[in-house]
Structure 1
């Protein structure tokens, strides 16, 4: 199943993926899946600047 372009990974799933990537005992397959999940996390946009 593929994700639609407008779907993103939840913050909870992103946190779990981050833990997998930092764990030295994680397998290459686990790290690949975690990295894939993190690439689908929505980026935070900078707050708009005020005009004076």
Structure 2
């Protein structure tokens, strides 16, 4: 393989890995936000569970 193609493949793999880790971090923070809203009484337990169930389908 030539150097340019090797660099392109390495950059693509690195970008893919970073996007994957970012999605997990976003999901965790969304769960934290929903839990905080339930704890403060902004959302009911049922509403929080429904949102969490919807997020589980996206993961």
TM-score norm. by structure 2 comes to 0.29
Bigger fraction of residues in helix: 2
Q: Please say which structure displays the higher CA radius of gyration.
A: 2
Greater relative contact order (Cα < 8 A, sep 6+)? 1
